[in-house]
Amino acid sequence: MLVPWKKKKPREAAAAAPTTGAEREAVFGMGYLPLKTGETKLYEALRESIPLIDAAISKIIRLVGSFRVETGRGETDRELERFLKTVPVGPLHQGVAFFLWGYLDTLLTYGNAVGEILPTRDMRGIGALFLPPIENVQLKRGENPMETVICVGRGGSFQPVPYPELVVCSALNPPDSCSKGVSLLKGLPFVSQILLTIFQCMGNNFERAGNLRYAVTYRPGGEGGRSRERAQMIAREWAQAMSPGKVRDFVAVGDVEIKAIGADGPILDTQVPVRLILEQIVAKLGIPPFMLGLSWSSTERMSKQQSDILTSELEAYRTLLEPVIRRICGLWLRQRGESGEHEICWDTINLQDEVDEAQAMLYREQAAYYRARAAAVKQ
């Protein structure tokens, strides 16, 4: 598959090898939805400047968990599992898990994600999976509201991909009748700017207060014309007393006053405003505070409820990834001449879910037993 984000020389395993492509700074015509805008660059800066946001997205990606694909045919299942673990993803990784991690990372950060399936030269298998740079992709409205045309560009021109069936695309919470998704970080730039302002002020204050500066004031008395001389001597002795690596006493005769600069101005307490802002960020990201190292007061029941909410969020992200997995596995099966029907089985998110489900099942069985027993007594 030759599309504008590829090099001219293909790799051995695939029909074409991808490259990063060139940046494009231009105004697109009506109907195009650019996926790389100033807003998305701001989201990149947010992840770089606030480690909490980057850590939350990374944890979401890891917590989505792994899966297995079943077709009901033993030998096919084993070969499909081997393919999902060994398929090349980019120049360094193997396995569809790396592809989905990068795909979900792009989806959460920018609101849209695009991936490509690279077939082998003989078109009888999948040679590699590739995540193109989001700035090289544009979405164009199709002839009807249910159609979206994926366009890629190089050198300032964007053209529809020649084989759209080999391209997967997803949008996160898109508005009605729109293919452009909404980033998970939308709404955070305002509160993040306040947080960075507080951190910058804290750094400046501690730089000033941590490295103490002194004001030495000498008020001459009856020294006559020797005031200048004495002031210079006091300054010289003070500099020697404050030289690093030595602890010396400073002795002065006369009216000499020494004060620490800034000692009268207390540093503002930032604990409350910083926590208020972090609460807004954590609420938007949907990650429980204790998973991000925030030791806020939390009861066991509250932690369980937060974990249940996180589980529902992860289930929603799995729903977004399932069409991508189905496209990859379905194409692999059809290239082998087999039926494309398969089932995606996700692993349980955590052990606590299994315990709760087992306990709920026990309660249901006990309730059914007592209902049947009561009905038998009535008869």
Tokens at residue 266, please? 């207390």
Strand partners, 344: 69
Low-confidence ranges of the chain (pLDDT < 50): 1-32, 351
Given phi > 0 = left and psi -120 to 50 = alpha, else beta, which region is 187? left
Give the pLDDT score at 223.
62
Give the pLDDT score at 220.
79
Helix (H) or strand (E) holding 46: helix 38-49
Give the pLDDT score at 4.
45
Give the pLDDT score at 264.
64
Q: Which of 176, 182, 132 is nearest to 158 (CA)?
A: 132
- What's the angle, vertex CA 94, arms to CA 93 and CA 97, rounded to 5? 100
Contact criterion met (CB below 8 Å) for 377 and 364: no
Give the pLDDT score at 350.
62
Contact criterion met (CB below 8 Å) for 172 and 107: yes
Whether the full predicted model's pTM is greater than 0.75, yes or no, is no
- What's the angle, vertex CA 33, arms to CA 27 and CA 38, rounded to 5? 65
Task: Compute how many other C-beta atoms are within 10 angstroms of the C-beta atom of residue 216.
Answer: 17
Give the pLDDT score at 28.
32
Hunting for tokens 């999902």 — which residue is that? 84
Tokens at residue 126, please? 């999948």
